[in-house]
Structure 1
Amino acid sequence: MGQADTPSPLRESALRTLQIEQAAISGLQAKLDDGFDRACALILACQGRVVVTGMGKSGHIAGKLAATLASTGTPAFFVHPGEASHGDLGMITRGDVVLALSNSGETAEVTALLPLLKRLGTPLVSMTGRPHSTLARHADAHLDSGVEREACPLDLAPTSSTTAALALGDALAVALLEARGFTAEDFALSHPGGSLGKRLLLRVRDLMHEGDRLPRVALGSPLRDALLEITRQGLGFTCVVDAEGRLAGVYTDGDLRRTLDHHLDLRDVSVDDVMTRPGKRIGPDVLAAEAVRLMEDSRITALAVVDEEQRPIGALHMHDLLASGVI
């Protein structure tokens, strides 16, 4: 391993690449003009979908941008420009907006779409590195993603240019997201299978134990009854309810350890004497992720779930949160 202050040639190359690409992204700030506003306005007014297209490396960036738009409130999909000229153009309608990426702005497969888009009357937003290119000149709005040079030492392989296009595409998606008032819950609805979706969609009522699985004893019960209920339900605690069925407190595994530390004769102890009052509780419509935070902050593994009158209606255990993927 080399000394920390003497980077290897490989790391020196990597540092140069990162510096060039960082400069490329920074340079985009000066290129943002009213074309960006026009692009956003066209997409926000779109009654159909944003059709994103690009060839080669720009096509890969276009595919990612289409996915980002679709997951942040702007319906979008990718169309390969070569395939569009051979039948897939039928996927584009008058109500759509086309977003075309090409660093040169002269990519033949992309510019070949221009007459067809004009005939359809479909608005075109272009993202190119050359504001005076064919694609830029014929677009209804142009986004300038130009860079001074590629990170490739031959100045040939798309590197800085694709990084800049990716960053500018993200800027477009975020601007549209904010303009639409897109929320975290909206995001979760488009990601129901992922861990983020689970954290944002699952509620306590979706995971809680209820009915016969709810551990519960009455105030004044002998401690042995509470212990039997904890053992029977296997959730590590039991609710203790008053005569009206409201939660008066909880008795947990931790409370049992404290009871034993005081050397009490368990045969003569009432649950009232050793329970935790008033006990941590949560509502059924609270996000499961909020239940995780409450448990972690309180250093507990289970919660009583109560209704508006503070009557226990369920019990939630950390294992349920783990099994659901919320954690």
Structure 2
Amino acid sequence: MSETFDYCDHGRKVIEIEIEALQKLTRYINGSFSEACRLIATCTGKVIVMGMGKSGHIGNKIAATLASTGTPAFFVHPGEASHGDLGMINKGDVVLAISNSGEASEILTLLPVIKRLGIPLISMTGKPESSMAQMAQIHLQITVDQEACPLNLAPTSSTTATLAMGDALAIALMESRGFTADDFALSHPGGALGRKLLLRIADIMHTGERLPRVGEQDTIKDALLEVSRKGLGMTAVVDARQNLLGVFTDGDLRRLLDNRVDIHTTAIGEVMTRQPATIAPNLLAAEGLKLMEERKISGLLVTENNQLVGALNMHDLLKAGVM
């Protein structure tokens, strides 16, 4: 390999070719696309995605995207289907068969059985005259002018186009169903995404003995001791009924020291910050993070009907994986 070989130049050419393929793909978002969406939307079973080789890998991802956006789907390997896995397909399902050439023999072998079962077939191919396209109830065309491979052999532009068409199907169906962020969260309970979409303020806030609070007649020294004990960098100031009156933070202390206030005799009610930022316990933790970032604060008090019920800070959100 020549030391002067320009890897970046060749990499850019690949991306440019694939971008052009995607731009031209929009011409195939037509009546057939709408029919395919309507067929899947009214399907009482699942979408069974099939594909061989690289089309199989893309099909696996399309099935996963459909399933995670509200359309029950899974991938069946055509080779395994011929040896028993075809039993996974039932009446009420829809088959989405993927092949750039439209002549994948492993899939063509299954089509007569699928037809006999009365299961609707959607094909996704690059050749509308192919066997799979002709046998399908609905054909989605994914033709590309050239592969990004300089030999025009390795599936590159064609697999990118296939994946994009699958995404178009999944998202169009998702939007037609009014699929919400809460719906999405229920199918993604694990990992960072699940924590951001499912975790609520009540799940991570400090309560009971861990909740920093003092009365408005307590001294600044009492408040400082409470801040130190609870470790949240702040304390709530409440009345006898636990109604929130204000907050006292590390930042408030720094400002007080500049003014030489006597911390042993001055009541915290005289120096607290009134009407502090608060949040409800039923809101998403991600909303708490957004509020802190907007207000440029590191902690929040949690209230219900102005009664103090909890507190949390940035460290709690970090530890919970929300940020």
- Taking structure 2 as the reference length, the TM-score comes to 0.96
User: What's the % identity of the aligned pairs?
Assistant: 58
Q: Is the Cα contact below 8 Å between 1:72 and 1:182 reproduced in 2?
A: yes
In structure 1, which of residues 242, 261, 267 is the aligned counterpart of residue 239 of structure 2?
242
Counterpart mapping for 1:217-236 below 5 A: 217-236=214-233
3-state secondary structure, aligned to 2:274: coil
CA distance in 1, matches of 2:259, 2:293: 27
CA distance in 2, matches of 1:151, 1:278: 60
CA distance in 1, matches of 2:234, 2:11: 55
In structure 1, which of residues 39, 57, 60 is the aligned counterpart of residue 54 of structure 2?
57
CA distance in 2, matches of 1:68, 1:145: 18
How much has 1:8 moved relative to structure 2?
5.4
How much has 1:213 moved relative to structure 2?
1.3
- Partner of residue 103, structure 1: 100
CA distance in 2, matches of 1:194, 1:182: 21
- Partner of residue 136, structure 1: 133
In structure 2, which of residues 280, 289, 297 is the aligned counterpart of residue 283 of structure 1?
280
- Partner of residue 320, structure 1: 316
CA distance in 1, matches of 2:287, 2:12: 41
- Aligned pair count reads 320
2:219 partner amino acid: P
- Partner of residue 178, structure 1: 175
User: Are residue 264 (structure 1) and residue 265 (structure 2) matched?
Assistant: no
CA distance in 1, matches of 2:89, 2:242: 62
How much has 1:46 moved relative to structure 2?
1.0
CA distance in 2, matches of 1:141, 1:98: 11
Q: Is the Cα contact below 8 Å between 1:219 and 1:243 reproduced in 2?
A: no
How much has 1:315 moved relative to structure 2?
1.0
- Taking structure 1 as the reference length, the TM-score comes to 0.95
Counterpart mapping for 1:80-229 below 5 A: 80-229=77-226
Instruction: List runs of 5+ in structure 2 lacking aligned partners.
Output: none
User: Are residue 42 (structure 1) and residue 39 (structure 2) matched?
Assistant: yes
CA distance in 1, matches of 2:235, 2:156: 60
CA distance in 2, matches of 1:278, 1:152: 63
CA distance in 2, matches of 1:149, 1:266: 77
1:266 partner amino acid: I
Q: Is the Cα contact below 8 Å between 1:97 and 1:125 reproduced in 2?
A: yes
Q: Which digits, 9 at most, give the CA deviation of each residue in 1:177-204, with x for residues without a partner?
A: 1111111121111111121221111111
Q: Alpha carbon RMSD of aligned pairs, Å?
A: 1.3
How much has 1:226 moved relative to structure 2?
1.2
Q: Which digits, 9 at most, give the CA deviation of each residue in 1:255-293, with x for residues without a partner?
A: 111111111221221101211112221111111111111
User: Are residue 23 (structure 1) and residue 20 (structure 2) matched?
Assistant: yes
CA distance in 2, matches of 1:31, 1:46: 23
3-state secondary structure, aligned to 2:71: coil
3-state secondary structure, aligned to 2:124: strand
Instruction: List runs of 5+ in structure 1 lacking aligned partners.
Output: 1-6
CA distance in 2, matches of 1:282, 1:32: 44
CA distance in 1, matches of 2:213, 2:321: 27
2:245 partner amino acid: A
CA distance in 1, matches of 2:78, 2:145: 27
Q: Is the Cα contact below 8 Å between 1:223 and 1:267 reproduced in 2?
A: yes
CA distance in 2, matches of 1:16, 1:279: 55
